[in-house]
Amino acid sequence: MATFALCSLNKVGRFTWRQCLVSNLKGSRGSEESSLRQLPGARCFSKTTSFRCMSHGTAGRSAAGRSRRGLLAFGGVAALTAAAVAGLMANGHHFQRAEMATKIPQTADEIEQEGGILERCRGFMSAPITDISVLQERRGEMCTRMEMMIMETQADFCRALQEVDGGTFKVDRWYRKEGGGGISCVMQDGKVFEKAGVNVSVVFGHLTEEAAKQMRSRGKVLKGKDGKLPFCAMGVSSVIHPKSPHIPTVHFNYRYFEIEEEDGSKQWWFGGGTDLTPIYVNKDDAFLFHNTLKEACDKHHPQYYSDFKKWCDRYFYIRHRGETRGIGGIFFDDLDGPSQEEAFSFVKSCAKTVVPCYLPIVYKHLKDPYSAEEKDWQQVRRGRYVEFNLVYDRGVKFGLATPGSRIESILMSLPLTARWEYMHEPAKGTREAEILEVLRNPKEWV
């Protein structure tokens, strides 16, 4: 999971999923109390709080970075594995120069279909990171359209999870003094989910020398002005750890990154994916999950599912164990074609699958009984999940090594509980051995 989390100050707020605080459209964000107003029909309250184990406490709040100016007005986030520009900068395998402009012309029908900015904000978990007035002014720009999409994805997924669990997400807004911020939604110790996190980040600023060096070392030719490379990045990501060993863990991440070079030209790309980590093999669940993703991919290119499924299996591989983290899904990065509009359309299609590819599986297994032995096996498999995230996930590693990173958001992907047993190997012929065989030899599900 890769989320932009370069931040040390945050404010905790609680919102219902039909609530949204927005900034005064004509004013600047001075103090939060004076500049934020309530949308019609919404109720909200804030509450300073803290909670246990890998949740989000408060460290005050900052007015810095709350409104964007100039060319960087639409900074962004990358992957909620949480880690600064990690998921975007650390996951690349290739980088091609983008030929299309950032601003995408829209027809009247397309604008109407996407809906009014203000109206769409009423369904968010919190006010967008960017001022509503700025989003309205620049509604045709890719950064605006992507920010609205990731906010809607967060709200739709949180709403679906709250409905099945009966619990409520805690909404944690944080700001990054260098520019931008994020919204972390976390639900812990629920009836169905032990820990559920859905994060949005929208950050902007300048690439550090170390970050730029890493990108150049992978063949990315970037020319900054006076050693500086302005960037904006944004994304939504989620990791859900259920209580029942018969309900799989799911992870998804969709992000956008943009860099401005010395001559004013911009390079951009999209990345993301969705993957499933079951504790036991269920072929029907695997088919539903993969087929939902395949149908979304097939709308855009017949090779997308096949290529991105293989990429997912390669990426989520625990080398020291010789097994994958789960049964895969799709994973892609550096997507900068065939055009910006078409790439964005593909990412939107993928993001729309997060509810239909997962929630039917959750409902199906809600009342499945399980034994103490099955729960212990779930804990062992969660240990493998932790190993991958801390040892191999490029976003997490980059974030932990980046000064000023928001550690709570980076580690949000970890489960509340896990288990490591010495020399643990399930007996042959058991369901535990069956899933190990699948993880050691990834298979096709559709």
Query: Among the options 56, 241, 246, 251, which is catalytic?
Result: 251
Rounded-to-integer distance, Cα 260 and Cα 381, Å: 42
Q: pLDDT tens string for the chain (446 positions)?
A: 544 444 333 433 433 333 333 333 333 333 333 333 333 333 333 333 333 333 333 333 333 333 333 333 333 333 333 343 343 333 334 333 333 333 444 554 454 445 689 999 999 999 999 999 999 999 999 999 999 999 999 999 999 999 999 999 999 999 888 889 999 999 999 999 999 999 999 988 887 666 766 665 556 677 777 777 888 889 999 999 999 999 999 999 999 999 888 888 888 999 999 999 999 999 999 999 999 999 999 999 999 999 999 999 999 999 999 999 999 999 999 899 999 999 999 999 999 999 999 999 999 999 999 999 999 999 999 999 999 999 999 878 867 766 566 788 889 899 999 999 999 999 999 999 999 999 999 999 99
Closest CA to 411 of 248, 252, 277, 239: 239
Active site residue 251: yes
Q: Is 438 in a helix, a strand, or coil?
A: helix
Strands 36-38 and 21-23: antiparallel
DSSP 94: -
C-beta of residue 336 within 8 angstroms of C-beta of residue 279: no
Q: Is 379 in a helix, a strand, or coil?
A: helix
Token pair, residue 410, equals 């980076």
Could you tell me which residues come within 8 angstroms of residue 296 by beta carbon, excluding any fewer than 6 positions away?
349, 350, 352, 353
Against a cut of 0.85, is the pTM above it?
no
